[in-house]
Structures are given as structure tokens and as C-alpha cells.
Structure 1
Amino acid sequence: MTASNDSILILGIGNLLWADEGFGVRCVEALNAAWALPDKVTAMDGGTQGLYLLPYVTAARHLLVFDAVDYGLPPGTIKRVEGDAVPQFLGAKKMSLHQTGFQEVLASARMLDRFPESLLLIGVQPVELEDFGGSLRPAVAARVPEAVAIALDWLRARGVRPVPRAPGTGPADDSALARAAYEQGRPPEHLACRIGDVRFFPEGD
């Protein structure tokens, strides 16, 4: 059984705190900033919420996911995967726990017989992940507009007509995690550990 409505969910998943892991979230951020979407389309920062996303996934008829994925391709490469192949790619080379969690979401939706009618993964091969507090690397950041363009074409194929926003009129995000603030506010390396929180390292390491 699929969702009885025409609802569409666009999810950006990943962790902003680990460099290119934030690709999916930044794609949703860029989409929301530049395009107004109808009520039946929800564009969501799914972060690393795992099974907490299940109610949103099972309520959607169509699902699009942005994520950083280890495809074994040259860094910065965009690849789209559709339908039943999506869980296989998310599970082939797990880069972080969020991918395990989202695999469980899709498996649970399947068991509930509420799997989306259509599913598209837009993934990028990361350049760098081991950089705590870092942002997207240039080769990955450059692919965000391409990923958004693929998503727009996918939406139009389902009868959705996104409307471009006038510059500066998108949803305001004045949080410290908004991309501009996040990148400009990063402390220098001698003040901020790049590989994790030093408070949790064993003494002597």
C-alpha cells in the first residue's frame, strides 16, 4: 500500500559538523532559499535523526534524498540512484551511523507496506569527512546547484512547478549552522580540534 495522497518529501540527511557529510542538508538549504514549493512538498533537514524520520517517510508518496555517499567514484562526482537500488547504495559502504539509521527507516517502511511509490537518491562522492567543524570542500560545494537542478526536474516530472524566489526573500536562517555563518565563524585550528572533541580522548593520546 502506498500513500493515498500526492505528498512529496525531500530529505537532506547527514551531519553538518563533519565536512562533506553535510552535503544533503546544504542541498535542502539551497533549495529552500531559492525556490518556493507548494504545500504538498516538504523539504526537510533530516540530519542524523534515523528512525525518527519514519513517520515522514511513510506519509510520503514520493521521496527524494540528498546525501553524501561513498560510491567508489572520483571525489565530487554526483550520482543518482532510484527505487529499490537506493537502500543497497546506502548500505554498501557506510560512512556514518546516519546511513545505517536511514536504511532502517526504508526497511521499516517496506515492512509496514508504506514504502514511497517513487524514491530518488541524489548523492555526491565526498572529498573529506574527517574534519570536525569543517564545511563542504570546494569540489563538493560546487555540486550543490547541480543536485538542486536534478531535484527540480524530478519535481516537475511529478507535476510540481517550483517558483523561483526573488534574491534574499527565502526563509531566513540566522542560526550558527547556516552555511555562511558556520563557515565564517569557524575558530582557527589552534583553538578548535579538527578530528573530534579532545575532551573525550584517552589521556596521553
Structure 2
Amino acid sequence: MESTYGSTLILGIGNLLWADEGFGVRCVEAFDAAWETPADVTVMDGGTQGLYLLPYVSAAQRLIVFDAVDYGLEPGTMRLVENDEVPRFMGAKKMSLHQTGFQEVLASAAMLGRGPAQMLLIGVQPVELEDFGGSLRPQVRARVPEAVELAAARLREWGVTLTPRATPPARLNDDALALHAYEQGRPAEELACRIGDERFMPKASQ
């Protein structure tokens, strides 16, 4: 019997503006570019939406999350976390507010008596975060294809039929955020602040 719409959610979370924080988003983009999924599978760029993701997570029976996670491991290390352990790792050594927000999403879904019965977190230890406007570092970028294949393998274990894409899909987010366009549009280092938005940073004393 076919499960209800939204029963499987494949979610990439993170912030593209902070280098390896964008790992989850780049993974879900790569997954969507590689595979067509059945109607009861939702593939989503969750960005840093936090509690706005609650309706989607609550409706899911199974959840795969891509994210950069501070496991305290060697930079570039991939680690899989499953089921009841996922909320704990989303909240441990928080790197940004999006992880606090997503931990709250999982907790809220559980309080409602809803949410996924099966969860898989595919996370990578970041190399660099403090690079405003930066892209994935090579060690982290190299993990994206592996992460996509791990997700595909788990979906097959769950009985989900995947079909290789014959044509490019519509983008999950704005065209300007596509990896090549994003990197090519970055200003030269001497023209741009790499540690934040200068408009909101403390001014050096005169």
C-alpha cells in the first residue's frame, strides 16, 4: 500500500553564507539533481527555517537530514546518527541557531505525538565556518556525493523507488544560490568582509 504524501522527508539544513555550514543544503541539492522520487517523498532545502519546518517534519513518517555537525572529530569526517540519537546530536555543540531551532522542531513534533518513526542524520564535521560568503572547503565538498549515496541507500532499504534523473529538475532554491553562481559571484577578498556584515560589527576605536 502506498504511504501518504509527505511520509518521507529528505531535508538539507544549514546556512550557505558561512562556508561549511552550507553542507546540508548542497547535499539536498545534489540529491535532487541525481534522483527522481515518488510523490510521497518530499525533498526540501530547509535552510535555517527552524520552527517553520514543523508542519513538514510532523507529517513525515521517515526523515533524512543532511547537516554540518560538530561531532568533535577530524574535519571532513562523516558520521551517521539514527532515530532517538538525532535530537541529541542536533543540539550538542551547537554551531548556529538553526541547530537549536531544528532540535526544537523534533521536540515539538514529539510533543504533538507526531513526527518520524525513523530518522537518519548524515552529518559532516566542518573544516571552516568563519568565512562569510565562503563555500564548502574541499574536505567537506568531497563528502557530498558519499552523503547523497548514503541517503539513496537508506531510502531503498525503506522501500522507496528512486529513478535516475534524465533532465535537470527545477531548483530547490533561487538560481543565484546555485553552487557555481554563488562562488563566481563572490567579491574578491580585498573588496569584501569575510567575518560578517560590517554594518553591524563594532567599530574600532579611533
The structural deviation recorded for 1:201 is 1.3
Q: Deviations over 1:77-121 (max 9, x none)?
A: 110000110111111110000000000000001100103110110
The 2-side partners of 1:71 and 1:202 are apart by 31
Residue in 1 aligned with 2:97? 97
State the SS of the aligned residue for 1:146: helix
What does residue range 57-136 of structure 1 map to in structure 2 within 5 Å?
57-136=57-136
The 1-side partners of 2:179 and 2:192 are apart by 18
Matching residue's letter, 1:115: G
Q: Check if 1:49 corresponds to 2:69.
A: no
Contact 1:90 1:103 (8 Å CA) reproduced: yes
The structural deviation recorded for 1:172 is 4.1
Residue in 2 aligned with 1:142? 142
Alignment gaps of 5+ in structure 1: none
Misfit runs of 4+, over 6 Å: none
State the SS of the aligned residue for 2:64: strand
Residue in 2 aligned with 1:188? 188
Matching residue's letter, 1:186: R
Aligned residues: 200
The 1-side partners of 2:40 and 2:4 are apart by 9
The 1-side partners of 2:81 and 2:131 are apart by 27
Q: Check if 1:170 corresponds to 2:168.
A: yes
Matching residue's letter, 1:138: P
Q: Superposition RMSD on alpha carbons, in Å? A: 1.3
Q: Check if 1:5 corresponds to 2:11.
A: no
The 2-side partners of 1:96 and 1:203 are apart by 24
State the SS of the aligned residue for 1:88: helix
Residue in 2 aligned with 1:28? 28
The structural deviation recorded for 1:170 is 1.6
The 2-side partners of 1:18 and 1:179 are apart by 13
TM-score after normalising by structure 1: 0.94
Worse overlay, 169-178 or 156-165: 169-178
The structural deviation recorded for 1:17 is 0.4
Alignment gaps of 5+ in structure 2: none
Percentage of matched positions with identical amino acids: 74
State the SS of the aligned residue for 1:176: helix
The 2-side partners of 1:119 and 1:203 are apart by 45
C-alpha change, 1:105 and 1:159, in structure 2 (3 Å) is same
The structural deviation recorded for 1:204 is 1.6
TM-score after normalising by structure 2: 0.94
Contact 1:20 1:129 (8 Å CA) reproduced: yes
